[in-house]
Amino acid sequence: MKLEELLIQKKKVIADKWFDAVVDTYPAETCKFIKSQKNPFSNPVGNTTQKGLTVLMDELLGEMDPDTINSFLDPIIRIRAIQDFTPSKAVSFLFSLKEIIKDQLKDKDFDDNTLIELNQFNKKIDSLALIGFDIYMKCREKIYHIKANEEKNRTFRAFERAGLIKEIPDNNAESQLV
């Protein structure tokens, strides 16, 4: 039996274990809440993660459409970037899929072709992790940019309140610092 057929048979179990692996990266109380709360409005993190992982599993078993991957991986990574996960922790759940698959297939005997297919599938997971890392870094860059702008605006307002800044009429009608 081909690897893809085996993985399709076990797709639901693999996706559920993958979800558990993601959730287990959160603190114990958060983990308990995400696993127990099924309402998507009460638990948007769990809902987004569950849906995203299911689609990502389909993509790994299919054509690996970049647009689909980005649209479902981005929200998962974005949440983790906002929550201050380190880059390695933010994308580590993608690599955990390799171990989950290995565990699900441990009782199967593989021929050389199936081992080659498994190696190719693992390379797809690696590609997914690299995409996830890129998404994480873009999110963190955006967060740092927002924080820097907020600090700049806060400083400007403080100078303005202190009377250290005043508007000087100019031909271009722009404000200048004095």
171 falls within a domain? no
The domain that contains 46 carries what CATH number? 1.10.490
pLDDT of residue 1: 66
109 falls within a domain? yes
Answer whether 59's CB lies under 8 Å from 68's CB.
yes
- Structural domain total, the chain: 1
Q: Mean pLDDT in runs of 10 for the chain (178 residues)?
A: 89 96 92 90 92 96 94 95 90 96 88 91 96 95 90 86 76 54
- What's the rounded Cα separation, in Å, for the pair 120 and 86? 28
The range of the structural domain enclosing residue 120 comes to: 3-161
Q: Match 């797709």 to its residue by tokens.
A: 11
**pTM for the whole thing?**
0.79
